[in-house]
């Protein structure tokens, strides 16, 4: 553990050194990441940027973006500090693009006239929420699409009795839309809809007797794990399906050693360890070359976003800023067997797969 932390500390110092050197030369392209201080996404955000950094390191080794060296600035902020911190990064650190911002900070930053006036794009926010802001570009589908895609994959697995638990904050019409897709497919299938409004134990007592093969939870890590734990206490051990935002380590801890059901989590990038796609193979090689850490879905997400940025910038000539930078990013790039396409909207990908996670009791 201490070796891992030491490597991360060295990595942080290296980022700072690169930033200072690049500023001194006046030839840098500065990428900034702003994350919420102490939030649940801290580990994911760190790993996301670790994956991005190895892509930027490789690009810098080859001359950067048309001779512009890529430097990184990373800050943490409370929700009420997000806008002044972002503006300071733009003005003082000369950040030209905000990259991988935290989910809870995204709505504030996307709605800020201060950010919009400075024509700074927000690329690859760590969010499956929706945003209509024209300076926000997601490299992943939204949460609704994850749920629909996960449901369709379960049907392909032959599961015909599925329950959907929707937590507060998610679209209550999600279940209605799912039922509509079932009707169109004319499948012999039962979809039971539930809303978590109170005690998970009470909800589990209603779900377990129906014996669903899988329970999809549209909620955060805590909701996912507490619903699964309550179902296990009712004697249910089917497949518990969650969003890509669910932290598997935290979920396993909450589920406890008594949980022996299956854990399936949505994943919005190819399997980082499979080596099936070219980008996954390159990512594994870059992680070993520059950071010596194992790949994960988070590091691959950051790597894909960074490769997209470098290739889009190079195609545009490398010197674009402001409005021209936003236009340069609204393109289509194959990053190595995985395509991001922003020519038809602000969602570059609709890829969703289900990843089996070893449960605590397995």
The 10s digit of each residue's pLDDT in 129-164 is 888 999 999 999 998 889 888 888 888 888 889 999
CATH superfamily of 29-140+276-350: Response regulator (3.40.50.2300)
What per-residue confidence (pLDDT) applies to 250? Answer: 87
pLDDT mean across residues, the chain = 87
184 pLDDT band, cuts 50/70/90, is low
Judge whether 29-140+276-350 and 143-267 match in fold.
yes
User: Looking at the domain 143-267, which fold is it?
Assistant: Rossmann fold (3.40.50)
Report how far residue 240's alpha carbon sits from residue 163's, in angstroms, rounded to the nearest whole number: 10
205 pLDDT band, cuts 50/70/90, is very high
Share of the chain above pLDDT 70, in %: 89
Report how far residue 283's alpha carbon sits from residue 289's, in angstroms, rounded to the nearest whole number: 10
Phi/psi zone of residue 322: left (φ > 0), alpha (ψ -120 to 50 degrees), beta? left
> By C-alpha distance, which of 52, 23, 42 is closest to 299?
52
> By C-alpha distance, which of 78, 75, 76, 59 is closest to 16?
75
CA distances from 4 to 10, 12, 57, 132, 294 (A): 10, 12, 19, 39, 11
For residues 245 and 219, the answer to whether their CB atoms sit within 8 Å is no
What per-residue confidence (pLDDT) applies to 193? Answer: 92
Q: Which residues make Cβ contacts (< 8 Å) with residue 321, sequence separation at least 6?
A: 96, 119
Residue ranges of the domains in the chain? 29-140+276-350, 143-267
Residue 16 has pLDDT above 70, yes or no: no
Entry pTM: 0.86
What per-residue confidence (pLDDT) applies to 18? Answer: 43
Helix axes 297-315, 278-286, angle to 10 degrees: 100
Report how far residue 42's alpha carbon sits from residue 280's, in angstroms, rounded to the nearest whole number: 23
């Amino acid at each position: 553990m201490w070796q891992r932390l030491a490597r991360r500390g060295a990595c942080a110092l290296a980022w700072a050194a690169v930033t200072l050197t690049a500023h001194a030369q006046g030839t840098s392209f500065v990428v900034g990441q702003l994350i919420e201080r102490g939030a649940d996404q801290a580990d994911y955000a760190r790993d996301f940027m670790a994956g991005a950094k190895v892509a930027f390191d490789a690009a810098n080794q080859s001359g950067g973006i048309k001779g512009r060296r890529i430097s990184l600035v990373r800050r943490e902020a409370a929700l009420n500090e997000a806008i002044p911190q972002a503006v300071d990064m733009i003005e003082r650190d000369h950040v030209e693009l905000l990259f991988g911002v935290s989910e809870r900070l995204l709505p504030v930053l996307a709605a800020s006239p201060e950010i919009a006036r400075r024509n700074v794009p927000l690329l690859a926010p760590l969010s499956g929420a929706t945003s209509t802001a024209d300076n926000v570009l997601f490299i992943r589908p939204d949460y609704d699409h994850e749920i629909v895609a996960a449901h369709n994959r379960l049907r392909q697995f032959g599961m015909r009795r599925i329950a959907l638990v929707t937590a507060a904050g998610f679209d209550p019409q999600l279940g209605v839309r799912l039922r509509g897709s079932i009707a169109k497919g004319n499948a012999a299938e039962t979809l039971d809809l539930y809303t978590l409004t109170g005690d998970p134990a009470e909800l589990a007592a209603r779900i377990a007797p129906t014996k669903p093969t899988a329970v999809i939870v549209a909620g955060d890590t805590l909701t996912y794990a507490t619903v699964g734990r309550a179902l296990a206490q009712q004697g249910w051990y089917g497949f518990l399906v969650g969003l890509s935002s669910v932290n598997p380590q935290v979920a396993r801890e909450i589920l406890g050693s008594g949980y022996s059901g299956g854990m399936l989590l949505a994943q919005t990038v190819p399997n980082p360890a499979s080596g099936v796609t070219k980008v996954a193979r390159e990512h594994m090689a870059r992680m070993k070359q520059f950071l010596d850490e194992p790949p994960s879905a988070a590091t691959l997400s950051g790597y894909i976003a960074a490769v997209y940025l470098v290739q889009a910038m190079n195609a545009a000539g490398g010197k674009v800023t402001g409005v021209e930078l936003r236009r340069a990013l609204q393109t289509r790039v194959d990053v190595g067997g995985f395509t991001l396409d922003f020519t038809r909207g602000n969602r570059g990908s609709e890829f969703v797969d289900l990843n089996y996670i070893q449960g605590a009791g397995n």
